[in-house]
Amino acid sequence: MKLLSRKASCNSHGQDSSYFAGWQEYEKNPYDEVKNPQGIIQMGLAENQLSFDLLESWLAQNPDAAGFKRNGESIFRELALFQDYHGLPAFKNAMVEFMAEIRGNKVSFDSNNLVLTAGATSANETLMFCLANSGEAFLLPTPYYPGFDRDLKWRTEAEIVPIQCSSSNGFRITKSALEEAYQQAQNRNLKVKGVLVTNPSNPLGISLSRHELNLLLSFIAAKGIHLISDEIYSGTVFNSPGFVSIMEVLMNKKYVNSPVWNRVHIVYSLSKDLGLPGFRVGAIYSNDKKVVETATKMSSFGLISSQTQYLLSEMLSDKKFTKNYVSENRKRVKQRHAMLIRGLKNAGIPCLESNAGLFCWVDMSHLLSSKTFEAEMELWKKIVYQVGLNISPGSSCHCIEPGWFRMCFANMSEQTLNLAMQRIKSFVNSISESKMNISPNQQYSNKSSRRKSFSKWVFRLSFHDRETER
């Protein structure tokens, strides 16, 4: 081990999290309607499989794009040869126009300020390298996407300081929470370089309000720090209030050409809105020329293939297609979201009211044996192993209240989602029945037994499952 680097030898990647452990269990026993009907259903993956038919239909109607042809002539050789890291101009133009369309054309974007990256993971990490030195911090509102512990910290050695949000106000960002997080960083002798938010929020499934966005701009202006707005779920907003990009508020607040104008950066991707995570298409948008210049140089470590850029430039340039896709995809997300909500309600499980995303933030605190994170992990273990559903526990998202879970709904068929809801309802019913049939002495004995088995399982999770991926 001494022959390896400190990075290779350390365990700071974050994959010992229950978020990733649930994926491992699913991969060992994946549900299949025919081959493995008793397997684990993957509800921990925020993937959009609802509108593949629209993409496949476009490909069938546009064989030249899929066949790497232009006006019937092959351009395979042109695409196969070296391309520099600035990206294909046609694709960058198509991307900024699509970003504007997702935002209702209330804002426009300059392709010269766009940096292409291999997905949003790469975009966020690249921004960390550009904005923070090792040991410097970014503030993130909780709960947040568990992968950020890896994406923002592992290679950059930056730090995350939580902005503690609670269910008392629907997990909204407040001025006092921002100030408390900033003070906490100072108490730890950490220099704060910025705030990072997901808008819409992952895992909450809510878009940030204008009030919150104005609050964030005022905060970074006062502190002289950066703001990163990860907007990869912007096209999934299906209910009012509609999506408001930080760029829209930035322009309306007349911050143009002010110091704040250059300290706001947007991350975007086609992984969620277009359902193409395997294509690895992400982007950074910044008004700071130095950030754009540096991030472009860094993008050489994670480029998007020329073939992918060409295909998607043709697709996104088809305005009739993109307009129909954005509208229809939102309808489908809304319908599938409603289906999950109905199923959970039928099982007596409430959710945070949401208007976006490919998941719901589910409150199962009433099913906990006690109001502790140990009890949350105990419940999560039962849901994974006994119920056969991989969901993400709130503690993996750094939620400060035990009993919350993230459930994804757009990565499976309606039949599979119905089955998942049947399983969770049966589980809740079994808990209710067992509570009615257990005497006080039995309850004490069972609690003691649960503690012992939980301790053994945590030991296995911590030391056996650590070798396990936005």
Point out the residues that are catalytic.
Answer: 145, 230, 232, 272
CA 8 – CA 12 distance, rounded (Å): 10
Query: In the chain, what are the helix, strand and coil shares in percent, each to the nearest 5?
Result: 50, 15, 35
Instruction: Dump the DSSP string for 72-94.
Output: TEE-HHHHHS---TT--HHHHHH
Which candidate, 46, 135, 125, 107, places its Cα nearest to that of 333?
46
CB-CB contact of 298 with 290 (8 Å): no
Which candidate, 411, 376, 424, 367, places its Cα nearest to that of 396?
376
The Cβ-side half-sphere exposure at 197, using a 13 Å CA radius, reads 31
Q: Which helix (H) or strand (E) is 115 found in, with range? A: strand 114-117
Which candidate, 285, 295, 275, 247, places its Cα nearest to that of 92?
285
**Residues 16-51: b if buried by 16+ CB within 10 A, e if exposed:** bbbbbbbbebbeeeebeeeeeeeebbbbbbbbbebb
CA 202 – CA 357 distance, rounded (Å): 7
Q: Identity (one letter) of the amino acid at 288?
A: D
